[in-house]
Structure 1
């Protein structure tokens, strides 16, 4: 078996941003549980685990999120969304590294979704003016909790080829 045929490598290279979903096809609870377990398996600074996850499968709330996020129109078709949030009040590590910790959890959400035959896309929230407040308002997220991003997840309508190759100009060995 070649290294490219390894299942983990296939999932990583096969994970693509999917924005078209089968609107009325629900995600099985077992798959959601695995996705959330994988999210919480992500590394964190000092083992802080600052994340919180808001699972949204109510159609009215998904539609409201689609309105609140200018690039989130696919949420109208997604089976569910997972909003990844971080609590910076837990510790100094959480305050300094919640973005990295929650980003690792988000990547695990996307990879687990792909491995389970689902499509997903990462919607940025945290660094966009006004966006965190809009999402917080729709979902009733407390002010002290930071909103990092949203994963729109569902059964894909579109399929994309896996990633191939890498840009060697972006790789530096030992020094720049």
Structure 2
């Protein structure tokens, strides 16, 4: 069964960095989280945890801490996607991939709900940004922040992406 609305939403989704002040309704936040939890995960470990951020003070502090998060000064909502680095006492080597799938579901669900979003990466091992973000959000030991989604009603319109990037497609071999 084809679902053209879903496909159109995937193609229309763009990273939006300018937002109106209109708050995101709680029922939409609940749907975003439900869709995030529907993401695939390796061995069904579901390592994700989500920090829902609506307080202006916290959004502003995140914008100050993250060099590419100035849109959080406007966005009415952010969701930090975090992951458990251990599963039943053992290293969970796929926590980042699992959390990335959950993040993508949040971004696509936002598009489907008439919201806009942008993914703000938090890379481990490059600088002290992850530790700053975790301290701001009170993330416990054993959990790491993978990224933050800025979410809201966009104050800008962007055209959809155009088709296949032929230079990125290789058949059978590179």
Q: TM class, shorter-chain normalised? A: over 0.9
Unaligned runs of 5+ in 1: none
Unaligned runs of 5+ in 2: none
Preserved contact between residue 13 and residue 162 of structure 1 (Cα < 8 Å)? yes
* Counterpart in the other structure of 1:103: 100
Write out the 4+ residue segments of structure 1 that deviate beyond 2 Å after TM superposition: 91-94
Query: How big is the shift at 1:29?
Result: 0.7
Give 3-state SS (helix, strand or coil) of 1:162's partner. coil
The 3 A distance-change label for structure 1 pair 109 and 94 is: farther
Query: How big is the shift at 1:93?
Result: 8.2
Query: How big is the shift at 1:169?
Result: 2.2
Pairing 1:27-176 to 2, within 5 Å after superposition: 27-91=24-88, 95-127=92-124, 128-176=126-174
User: As a proportion of its length, which structure holds more helix?
Assistant: 1
The 3 A distance-change label for structure 1 pair 157 and 94 is: farther
CA RMSD of aligned residues (A): 1.6
User: What TM-score do you get using the length of structure 1 for normalisation?
Assistant: 0.93
Query: In structure 2, what is the Cα distance between the partners aligned to 1:122 and 1:113?
Result: 12
Query: In structure 2, what is the Cα distance between the partners aligned to 1:65 and 1:121?
Result: 14
Query: How big is the shift at 1:170?
Result: 1.4
1:90-144 deviation per Cα after TM superposition (whole angstroms, max 9, x unaligned): 2488611001000000000000001111110000013341111010111111132
Number of corresponding residues: 172
